Chains A and B, each alone.
Chain A
Amino acid sequence: MNDRRWILDRVHSAIADVDRENGLPDLSREGIDGGIDALVRRFTDEVEAVSGVVHHVADIDAAARELDTLIRSNQITSLAVSRDPLARAISSRVIGQHEVLDPEDNQDAIAEADMGLTGARLGISEHGTLMLAPEDDHGRLAALLPPHHVAILATSDLVGTLSEALARLGEEIPPTITFVSGPSRTADIEQTLVIGIHGPARVDIILVDDRESGTT
């Protein structure tokens, strides 16, 4: 408490003579024109620009087929699935040899999984960003520990910019929000880009079109 008073007093007297009139600049700006199609196109391009992959599919069945292909082609033996209802629904349609881990399974097991499957709160088209809120069942560890992250996102959850994403949050801000743009990367050894260090080395996004069916 001592330091608090000391600091605040000094900060206060440091700026006591400053004229505090001027306001903050308005930061509002244009979003992305062209409706869902434009958002999908931009999202796909931007995710690819940061070494991720978008699979745009028509419905949940197609999403399950896409996931099945990803599991087979990458020889996945264990899949950690978050509590997200959409992710659960899709993973339950995939019959394979792989073991399925729940968030209740212990941390070490999830760390050993080859793939993590989660939902996402929103996608931000401008920078190909996924917005994850672990407390919304997006699986903090499933999206982080396995080397391959697959996220399920509905097209109705795409927004243009970070501003719009933050505005959608409203007053209720979850304790943790992670914005993810592509796989983990580093260039700390001689500026050489290496994809995949501490976080996932691969990020696939299954983008489920929910315009007509309203399935999600």
Chain B
Amino acid sequence: MSSIHNVRSRHFKQDIRSAIADVELRGALARAQEQVNSKRSKAVDAIAGDWESMREKARSIKAWTLEHLDEQLELFESNATRNGIKVHWAKDPDSACSLVKDICSQADARSVIKSKSMVTEEIGLNAVLEASGMEVVESDLGEWIVQIAGETPSHIVAPAIHRSRKSVHALFEKTLQRSIPDDAESMTMVAREVLRKAFLRADVGITGVNYLIAETGSFLVLENEGNQRLTTSLPRVHIAIAGLEKVLPRLADLDLFLRMIGRSGTGQVVTTYQNLFSGPKQDPAEDGPEEMHMVLVDNGRSEMLASERRRQTLQCIRCGACLNICPVYRQIGGHAYGSVYPGPIGSIFTPPVAGLHQASQLPYASSLCGACRDVCPVKIDIPAVLLDLREEIAGDDAQKRDAETDLKVRRETPAFRHWARAMHSPTRYRIAGFFMRCAAGIASRTTVLDRFIPPLAAWRSERSVPRPEGDTFRNRWKARGRQAR
């Protein structure tokens, strides 16, 4: 069964309340979003003439690959195998975690070092390895911060974006039991020193994957810190884990995607390091891993592929741009979504993978403003997928929603039905409009009514009712017509 580790999106409504009340969090998010967005626009504007055509090419390559995914996966497998990479397949998190655990046990691993990988968060790998007695250390600075804090990442690119420097400082001093200067540079150097030791003692290195290259049986992983290079250089065994959708058909496709993902994600022209792996070391005297494994994870992806409307979700290159631009993410941060994939991409990826009833509130966590669609480098129409999910969630099968969403659906469905009826003829619309204006006029002046009509109270608790001012649009339009004559 497909699932997402520790998903708690059913508590979305409670969790947004505490997130919104957290002033420090919202300050941190607003600052971070502004900074990243302005860097992104600068980087994109610098190639403005090309950007739209690059997006279209990237979209079409991804769409083509998904439409040929069976062939492309088999091609990757046979080429990778020829290169000496051991390719494994996992249909769900249980299968993936036990595969990785077995590889680690066979390597007699006591210590495992990891570089940032969202799919390992998705399948809950760390918990499984730790339960079988292995030490697991996250080596990306942001991931390490959330690991020692006992938290989960709140952003797919910047895991610790929700934390202020002060809170990281307090965390470091508490964890390491020593005093540390509180500037970002000194704190970073302390992390380097602590993590360097973890690298040197690790038996197995685990990474995610940005692109699988079918044509050559290679894979590419991006990073800025160098932790990923260390993860794949020092330990004897390298295990890479990838969602099925990560395939690109040709090596030459990298030229396009690498010019886009850095700009899109962090506003960098390119990331500092781009590591292309095509097999374990050949000469025993060399440094580098003796064994290289690739675990291909389905976990709900093949099902998503079958839906024509949702298939595009799998085009995602996990750049994070849609989180950075999203007005909802800006207010509530990543944790409130209750999934390792927060923000707009999370709201279309989490429900089908975790099960609609587990995350039925997420597709509603959007004003459908479309900023995510406009910013997405592979042109995923996120609002369209959100609407598709809403349609299924609000359908006849109540099993597809949680209690909270069910209440909402049951309250809203009759209202929308009436509204649809009212829209049917001008007379009905006029009459309905008259009553609505009267109701809004009263409701905006008083809260007394709320007490007698509970659905109104629920609605009012999150919104203020606009007070109708002056004459109606229809009357003014008519008057204008008369004047003109």
Binding site for B on A (CB under 8 A): 3-4, 6-8, 10-15, 18, 20, 22-25, 27, 29, 46, 49-50, 103, 107-108, 111, 127, 129, 134-135, 140-141, 144, 161-163, 166-167, 173-192, 194, 196-200
Contacts and interface: CB of A to CB of B under 8 A. Distances in A.
Contact of B303 (A10, A127, A129): A10
B196 A199 contact: no
A5 B201 CA distance: 37
A27 B227 CA distance: 31
A144 B269 CA distance: 22
B73 A166 contact: no
Contact of A20 (B68, B141, B192, B278): B68
B159 A188 contact: yes
Find the residue from A173, A179, A189 having the highest chain B CB count within 10 A.
A189
A163 B276 contact: no
A23 to B, nearest CB: 8
Contacts of B163: 190
A129 B222 CA distance: 14
A134 B288 contact: yes
Contacts of B276: 173, 176-179
A180 B273 contact: yes
Interface stretch (B253-261, B419-427, B469-477): B253-261
Contacts of B279: 175
Contacts of A12: 70
Nearest to B77: A4
Bin chain B's interface residue count. Answer: 35 or more
The 4 closest A-B pairs by CB, nearest first: A199-B226, A14-B306, A188-B142, A198-B226
B333 interface: no
Given A188-B141, A189-B160, A200-B226, A103 B287 contact: yes
B225 A27 contact: no
Interface string B166-194: 00100000000000000011011101100
B316 interface: no
A11 B441 CA distance: 55
Nearest to A179: B274
Given A187-B158, A197-B191, A198-B225, 9 more contacts: A27-B253, A107-B200, A127-B269, A166-B252, A176-B288, A187-B266, A191-B161, A199-B272, A200-B226
30 contacts: A7-B89, A7-B244, A8-B70, A8-B73, A11-B244, A12-B70, A13-B306, A15-B305, A24-B64, A24-B250, A107-B234, A127-B269, A134-B288, A144-B226, A161-B255, A162-B254, A166-B251, A173-B251, A173-B276, A177-B276, A183-B272, A186-B224, A186-B225, A189-B160, A189-B187, A189-B188, A190-B164, A190-B184, A191-B31, A198-B227
B195 interface: yes
A67 B274 CA distance: 27
B350 interface: no
A24 B140 CA distance: 35
